Structure 1
Amino acid sequence: MRVLGVISGTSMDGLDVAVADLTGAESGELVMRPVGARSWPWPAALRSRLLALLPPASTTIGEVAMLDTLVGEEIARAAESINHEVASGATELVVSHGQTVFHWVEGQAARGTLQLGQPAPIVEAMGVPVVSDVRARDIAAGGHGAPLASTLDALALRTRPGVNAALNLGGIANVTVVPPTGAITAFDTGPASCLIDATVQEASGGAEMFDQDGARARRGSINQALLNRLLDEPFYALAPPKSTGRELFTGAYVRTALASIGLTLHPDDLVATLTELTARTIANALAPYDIQTVYASGGGTHNPVLMEALRRHLGATQLTTSDELGLPVDDKEAYLMTLLGYLSWHGLPGVLPGATGSSQGHVLGRVSPVTAERSVPTSLAIRSEPHQR
């Protein structure tokens, strides 16, 4: 089955789109053949409106409703274009993650999540079924709805010797710990690039969106007082599974931390400190598991200062990338969507029991079908029977 997957991560830098041929649902021996992947940037005005939704900002229900449609329409344009460019127009199923704008966590329990992106425009543009809203069912079943990459990670790493881990460096960092046998553990570790990006954007007045090649972090110096203050964040002490998002790790979060210890830092020193925070919290989170190899993916893999800091803190644990698994670092999350959609279409669980906190595996998402082939019935007879109110 040829499946097209679309996702936009917490960095909101654009849509990642991938096409894969998947087989094996009937036998249980899945095979994924990546066909190709592309990036599709958000239009500047739409991205600005999406960023303006993020906490602690306030908004209106009208703005949420409009953006839900506009995001769906943009996903439809991306899917239609890349379907022809990469898939020869032969896509049979689209899986749309949408854009996360809120992830509701209270203490150690996830209560809900919201991804914008109406599936109806995608169905209209593509003429094939669309699977969407892939996180909500896991949360309803007691899980965190994240990181759903645990399913792909477990299937890709289970046969490798020793205990291995997959790491995604997006806006938020998440890991999947995969032992040769036994339970899979998957959880968010904290910020990856979200705090760095927010700091760079503020310092540059929006001229820079991220720390290109880690240049600011390399120029700057780590401030130990601020680092110690940031490491006191209670989230890091929570036991997995756990999840978080930009609801907690905002630009205001950093300003509050600086104010609490009476510091004013040069932006480069602040970026260097936040880069060290990401590396330290990831390594601390993985320390209890005796990991042999970490396979990293996501935009953060292009930051050499972050990768150097990770190697330093991981010590004897080898750090490599998902490229070694046949999944390009920039495309892995989109290929994950193709897998989850394929599983849902065939009525198979999209999350492993216990991986994100739910005790059982469940079929994820909802399906928007294509236009019905049969016409509307011509009549409806209502035959009343005695009944009680």
Structure 2
Amino acid sequence: MTPPRTTDTLTDTDATTTTVIGLMSGTSCDAVDAAAARITHEGTELRLTPLGMVSEPYDGALREALAAALPPGRTTLADVCRLDTRIGRSFARLAVRADRELCAGRAELIASHGQTVFHWADGGRVHGTLQLGEPAWIAEATGLPVVSGFRTRDVAAGGQGAPLVGLIDRMLLRGHPGVPAALNVGGIANATVLTPDGTPAAFDSGPGNALLDAAARHLTAGRLDHDTDGRLAARGTVHGPLLDRLLAEPYYVLPAPKTTGRELFHSGYLRTALDAVGPLSAPDVLATLTRLTARTVADALRPFGVTEVLASGGGTRNPALMTALRQELGAAVPLRTSDALGLPSAAKEAYAFAVLGYLTLHGLPGNLPRCTGAAGPRVLGSLTPGRTALRLPAPAAQPPRTLRVTPPPDGAR
């Protein structure tokens, strides 16, 4: 635990720089990531100086309880309460560690995405969304104010609530030649495309690692949680009938903006497809699912005439998936990681939520209506105070248009 804070640096309304820790656990539901950054707003530019990332896996018991509660499993309100507390405590422990190790105890704000456990999508609309990880645990452990619950306000405004990184991606990609796309491959794959006139589009393309991880657990009787480094998939052969059956999923032809999750692409969904085609070897199943992710990403990007793709997320650590993506995108569309933008691919989404937290603190919208379908720009999330009275900075005069990543001074935090 950090010592009690005697001052609240957020009370300085003239300050333009804030040290923020972004907390994220994605649809793979396996770990919590924390990325720390100094963020400065000057004119129409937002500058982000990465301070590093730390990550911790959920403990085995929590992972099992979370997996049992997610679709297609059944749960109770008692289970939800326990998960909310245990996930909140996990986020709190990592926030304390990130403040100590990355910020030298000088963090000023926590931005917590929480753990999505259900995204209520039906008929092309999102009616509700639920993220667990009670922010009070984070505020109590760190003494810092916490911004959380980012997705709900966008949904309340008629938006999809995801992907919420569209605004951050647009600021990062602005100025890139051609038609750049930012791709994140977590449990679900999502992309933001920026056309030459600056018009953005964002959407979930479909499964990223979700079905791959479900297949690894199912086919190895729980011995593996995922296909480490894509080794099993690299040994397999794509099974055409299984791939065709999976590609017939109606979600893929829905227009953007659109979002999906493990409510659709879960273990039961996979078992139904496997039962329909008969027994297959684990390498062949994983090779086919790898091709499914790559094909659906490429199919979703192709109509925009994308000229480069900058990828992030756990999928970038899977060589078999990255090879399949390059094949599906074609030689004319280079595939690089977000490291080329200055943001480590493993931490890009945590940094993105740090930026969203900063925007909320300064009274700035964090959604992009064209990307989510919301009725208009909205300041996202709720603020949980830290140990001291919270006086917010004066609202920023204008929203930033660009996001520039700057390296920290040597030896500086």
TM-score range, shorter chain: over 0.9
Aligned pair partner of 2:335 in 310, 315, 319: 319
Distance 2:117 2:251 in 1: 20
**Could you list the runs of 5+ residues in structure 2 that have no partner in the other structure?**
1-17, 391-413
Matches within 5 A, 1:58-73: 58-73=74-89
User: Which consecutive unaligned segments of at least 5 residues does structure 1 have?
Assistant: 375-389
Query: Matches of residues 88-107 of structure 1 in structure 2 within 5 Å?
Result: 88-107=104-123
Picking from 24, 29, 52, the partner of 1:7 is 24
**2:176 match:** 160
Q: Given the alignment, which residue of 351, 373, 376 partners 1:360?
A: 376
**1:373 Cα shift?**
4.7
Measure the CA separation in 2 of the matches of 1:249 and 1:31. 37
Q: CA deviation at 1:331?
A: 0.4
Residues of 1 paired with 2:280 and 2:237: CA distance?
A: 10
1:282 corresponds to which of 297, 307, 311: 297
Match of 1:111 in 2: 127
Of the candidates 121, 138, 142, which is equivalent to residue 137 of structure 2?
Answer: 121
Q: Deviations over 1:21-44 (max 9, x none)?
A: 0011x6231110111111111111
SS at match of 2:33: strand
The CA distance in 1 between the partners of 2:375 and 2:334, in whole Å, is 31
Q: Which of 12, 16, 19 in structure 1 is aligned with 2:33?
A: 16
Q: CA deviation at 1:305?
A: 1.2
Counterpart selection for 1:187 from 180, 192, 203? 203
Report how far residue 372 of structure 1 moved: 5.2
Q: Which amino acid aligns with 2:39?
A: L
Shift in Å at residue 205 of structure 1? Answer: 2.2
DSSP 3-state at the match of 1:354: helix
When the two chains are superposed, the root-mean-square deviation of aligned CA atoms in Å is: 1.2
Is 1:145–1:356's contact at 8 Å kept on the other side of the alignment?
yes
Equivalent-residue separation in structure 1 for 2:373 and 2:236 (angstroms): 39
TM-score by length of 2: 0.88
**Mapped contact 2:201–2:257 kept (Cα < 8 A):** yes
Q: What is residue 28 of structure 1 aligned with on the other side?
A: 44
* Matches of 1:76 and 1:192, distance apart in 2: 27
Report the equivalent of 2:11.
none
Q: Is the 8 A contact 1:174 1:186 kept in 2?
A: yes
Task: Tell me by how many angstroms 1:211 deviates.
Answer: 1.1
Q: Does 1:56 align with 2:58?
A: no
Secondary structure at the aligned position of 2:163 is classed as coil
Describe the superposition over 1:244-299 as per-residue Cα deviations: whole angstroms up to 9, x where unpaired. 00010011111111233x42211111111100100000000001001110000011
Q: Deviations over 1:110-151 (max 9, x none)?
A: 111110011111111111110000100111111111111112
Which residue does the alignment assign to 2:402? none
- 1:103 counterpart letter in structure 2: H
| SS in structure 2 of the partner of residue 174 of structure 1 | strand
Does the residue aligned with 1:30 lie in a helix, a strand or coil? strand
Give 1:57's aligned amino acid: G
On the 8 A contact 2:206/2:293 being kept in 1, the answer is yes
Q: Once the 2 structures are TM-superposed, how far is the Cα of residue 342 of structure 1 from its aligned partner? A: 0.1
Q: Distance in 1 between matches of 2:261 and 2:382?
A: 23
Question: Which of the residues 304, 310, 332 maps onto 1:295?
Answer: 310
User: Between Structure 1 and Structure 2, how many residues are aligned?
Assistant: 372
Does residue 266 (structure 1) correspond to residue 281 (structure 2)? The answer is: yes
How much has 1:207 moved relative to structure 2? 2.0
* Partners of 1:206 and 1:331 in 2: CA distance: 27
1:220-248 Cα shifts (integer Å, max 9, x gaps): 11110111011000000100110000010
Q: 1:246 aligns with which of 262, 281, 284?
A: 262
Contact 1:183 1:355 in 2 (8 A): no
Q: Please give the residue correspondences for 1:201-216 in structure 2 after superposition, counting only pairs within 5 Å.
A: 201-216=217-232
Identify which of 149, 159, 167 aligns with 1:133: 149
Alpha-carbon shift at residue 353 of structure 1 (Å): 2.6
**Partner Cα separation in structure 1 for residue 43 and residue 229 of structure 2:** 44
The answer for the alignment partner of 2:103 in structure 1 is 87
Does 2:251 align with 1:222?
no
Cα contact 1:283–1:310 (8 A) shared by 2: yes
Q: Which amino acid aligns with 1:146?
A: A
Counterparts of 1:11 and 1:61 in 2: how far apart (Å)? 22
Aligned partners of 2:135 and 2:287: how far apart in 1?
40
AA matched with 2:177 = P
Higher RCO, 1 or 2 (CA under 8 Å, sep at least 6)?
2
Of the two, which has the highest radius of gyration? 1
Structure-2 separation of matches of 1:182 and 1:38: 34
- Offset, 1:15: 0.4
Aligned mates of 1:259, 1:350 — CA distance in 2: 43
AA partner of residue 50 (structure 2):
P
Query: Structure 1 residue aligned with 2:188, among 168, 172, 176?
Result: 172
